[in-house]
Amino acid sequence: MSTLRNIHGLAEVADQYGVLLVDQFGTLHDGQTPYPHAAEALVRYRATGGKVIVLSNSAKSGDDNRERLKGFGFDERHFDGVVTSGDAAQAAMRTGALGSAFQPGGKIHISGKPGADYGFGAFGFSIVWPDDADGIILAACQEPDRNWRQQIRDLLGAARRGVTVAVCNPDLEMLTPKGVRPSAGAIALELARAGAVLHTFGKPHIDIYRTALAAAGNPPPSAVLAIGDSPEHDLQGAANAALDGALVRTGIMVGQDDAALLPRLPKRTERPWLSLPELRW
């Protein structure tokens, strides 16, 4: 059975790791405000010679997220690189891995916040309504502005036709100003049940970890600690990549006690998962 080892801050374990893979939403900030000790923790860790890669299930590119992070006070003092699920999806489209629907001229529907193209506008797609689409880019859930089940209903017809859905944010839950809500990953599961073919990018899938580790210089797995607020994405992704992991009790973990968390932890017997109240030194 998996166990949790509670620690006060990164200082207790920093000397064991040369690289941190750090989640963004729910770990560095809550979407509105940065967490109070996160920036200091990263600066102090990097002062020891360690590298930090921000690893985010954001449908937007790493470059876009660098700009977003600046708005929360995070910049090159705090991290060495930013890798996102959006980067992984764009790379797959460029190589043709998602098929002809996702090539220039393909009839694509982008499902997310109204009016946002998430960086996919440059691909030369013909942007259409779901019922006319040969492929769907599932970029984000529209909660809390619009109920997630309404978004599912928009896409059900296409799903029943068996269209390919590029899931660019596989998170099952997300933190919003109105609390924790279902995220795009939960929508994707419902579309798959209706017949859609999913291609999923981001944590916990191994490809994004290979990209992040390459950005850090391909350190040995034993030298890497993955940090985030999701057992199903941050810790499961760490397990898939044979990395240690630390769960912060911010973001979607607020109010969750150990008894509720233990059944959600990926199976691991040789070492406990770490747990911190927040990202702090």
Task: Reply yes or no on whether the pLDDT at 270 is more than 90.
Answer: no
Q: What does R_g of the chain's alpha carbons equal in angstroms?
A: 19
Task: Reply yes or no on whether the pLDDT at 257 is more than 70.
Answer: yes
45-66 confidence digits (pLDDT tens): 999 999 999 999 999 999 999 9
pLDDT tier for residue 260 given thresholds of 50, 70 and 90: confident
Task: Reply yes or no on whether the pLDDT at 1 is more than 80.
Answer: no
pLDDT tier for residue 69 given thresholds of 50, 70 and 90: very high
Amino acid at the residue 231: P
Q: Which residues contact 29 (CB under 8 A, 6 or more apart)?
A: 35, 38, 72
Separation between Cα atoms, residue 275 and residue 62, nearest integer Å:
27
Give the per-residue pLDDT at 74.
98
Percent of the chain at pLDDT > 90 equals 94
Give the per-residue pLDDT at 163.
97
Q: Is 194 exposed, middle or buried (0-12, 13-18, 19+ CB in 10 A)?
A: middle
75-126 confidence digits (pLDDT tens): 999 999 999 999 999 999 999 999 999 999 999 999 999 999 999 999 999 9
Q: In which residue are the tokens 């499961």 written?
A: 236
Q: Phi and psi of 82, rounded to 5°?
A: -130, 125
Give the per-residue pLDDT at 2.
85
Mean per-residue pLDDT, 164-190:
95
213-250 confidence digits (pLDDT tens): 999 999 999 999 999 999 999 999 999 999 999 999 99
Task: Reply yes or no on whether the pLDDT at 72 is more than 80.
Answer: yes
Average pLDDT score over the chain: 96
Which segment of 137-141, 170-174, 257-261, 273-277 scores lowest on mean pLDDT?
257-261
234-253: burial string, b at 16+ Cβ within 10 Å, e else: bbbbbbebebbbbbbbbbbb
pLDDT tier for residue 259 given thresholds of 50, 70 and 90: confident
- Go through the domains of the chain in sequence order and give each one's CATH number: 4-86+204-276 (3.40.50.1000), 98-200 (3.40.50.1000)
Separation between Cα atoms, residue 146 and residue 141, nearest integer Å:
9
Hey, which residues does 21 pair with through a beta bridge? 53, 226
- Whether 9 contacts 281, CB under 8 Å: yes
Task: Please report the DSSP string for 43-87 in residue order.
Answer: HHHHHTT-EEEEEE--SS-HHHHHHHHHHTT--TTT-SEEEEHHH
